[in-house]
Amino acid sequence: MYLENPGIYYEIYGKGRPVIILNGIMMSTSSWMAHIERWQKKFQVITYDTRDQGKSARITDKPYTIEVHVEDLKKLIDHLGLKKVNLMGVSYGAQIAELFALKYPEMIDRLVLSNATDHIDNYLKSIGQAWKVAAELYDGEKFFDISLPYIYSRPFYNNNYDWLMNRRKMFKETLTKDWFDGFVRLASSNEIFDIRNEISNITAKTLFISGEEDIITPKSHIIEMNKKVKNSLLANLENTGHALFFEKFEEFCLLVEAFFNYD
């Protein structure tokens, strides 16, 4: 389904308490199919692609910052006639969720922030720059080789190497120039993201999830965020990296389910 203005593609599954999922920067609605199959039996799951992602519209006429997605999300929620929602954001999606919770606190019930950050430090900025350089090669295999080792943990790489090499081939076959150009714009949109002085104003009940081996959004940063957000909990998963929602599927699902299935 589409929200024509601003051109947002979204999907809805199940019934009950609405939970909106916000993608990581390399993801799309299709990234969540295994989770949706499970979660749609427990609550209403709403997935969508931000602009410059998946099946949504592209922003090619001017540079933009990550805040543009906050207003798009507000339009989607209003379009669906929802007064209050739960948000679950991963990485880039968690940043959008944080900004939304600060701007529209009355619209948020509960918030899950997985592999999140409250600012882009120089190390993370350098990773983003490497990703943009890789994307501008317009070669799926090279993009995989440069970008993906940051995403998955060392144990996952060592135990699933054949699967990862099949993913590498898939990147070569499916990623298009349009995808790469959109990714570069997304990766440029959050370079000045910094809410360290504002994050304590989040009032929604919040669950932070960190990965012990995540080098992109390290556990230490998420611990500090947890300390700042008064009404928050923290769960750390061992032997997993930035893609913990996939690497630790069962544990991740259980955490989200327990947090959102409340009276």
Single-letter residue type at 21 = I
Its pTM surpasses 0.95? yes
198-228: pLDDT as tens digits:
999 999 999 999 999 999 999 999 999 999 9
Q: Could you tell me if 246 and 240 are in contact, meaning their C-beta atoms sit under 8 angstroms apart?
A: no
pLDDT at site 153: 97
SS (H, E, C) the chain: CEECCCCEEEEEECCCCEEEEECCCCCCHHHHHHHHHHHCCCCEEEEECCCCCCCCCCCCCCCCCCHHHHHHHHHHHHHCCCCCEEEEEECHHHHHHHHHHHHCHHHEEEEEEECCCCECCHHHHHHHHHHHHHHCCCCHHHHHHHHHHHHCCHHHHHHCHHHHHHHHHHHHHHCCHHHHHHHHHHHHHCCCCECCCCHHHCCCEEEEEEECCCCCCCHHHHHHHHHHCCCEEEEEECCCCCCHHHHCHHHHHHHHHHHHCCC
What is the share, in percent, of the chain residues with pLDDT greater than 90?
99
- Average pLDDT on 46-68 reads 97
Query: Shortest CA distance to 230 belongs to which of 206, 263, 259?
Result: 206
Sheet holding 8-13, edge to edge: 2-3, 8-13, 44-48, 18-22, 85-90, 108-114, 205-211, 232-237
Write out the two tokens for 135: 């994307």
- Average pLDDT on 75-101 reads 98
9-26 burial, b at 16+ Cβ within 10 Å, e below that, comes to: bbbebbeebbbbbbbbbb
Beta-carbon-side half-sphere exposure of residue 66 (alpha carbons within 13 Å):
26
113-140: pLDDT as tens digits:
999 999 999 999 999 999 999 999 999 9
Dihedral angle computed from the Cα positions of residues 160, 166, 169 and 173, in that order, rounded to the nearest 10 degrees: -130
CA 183 to chain centre: 14
Domain ranges of the chain: 10-120+194-261
134-181: pLDDT as tens digits:
999 999 999 999 999 999 999 999 999 999 999 999 999 999 999 999
| Fold entry, domain 10-120+194-261 | Rossmann fold (3.40.50)
Q: Could you tell me if 29 and 47 are in contact, meaning their C-beta atoms sit under 8 angstroms apart?
A: yes
The overall average pLDDT reported for the chain is: 97
44-54: pLDDT as tens digits:
999 999 999 99
pLDDT at site 263: 65
Q: Could you tell me if 49 and 56 are in contact, meaning their C-beta atoms sit under 8 angstroms apart?
A: yes
Question: Radius of gyration over alpha carbons of the chain, in Å?
Answer: 17
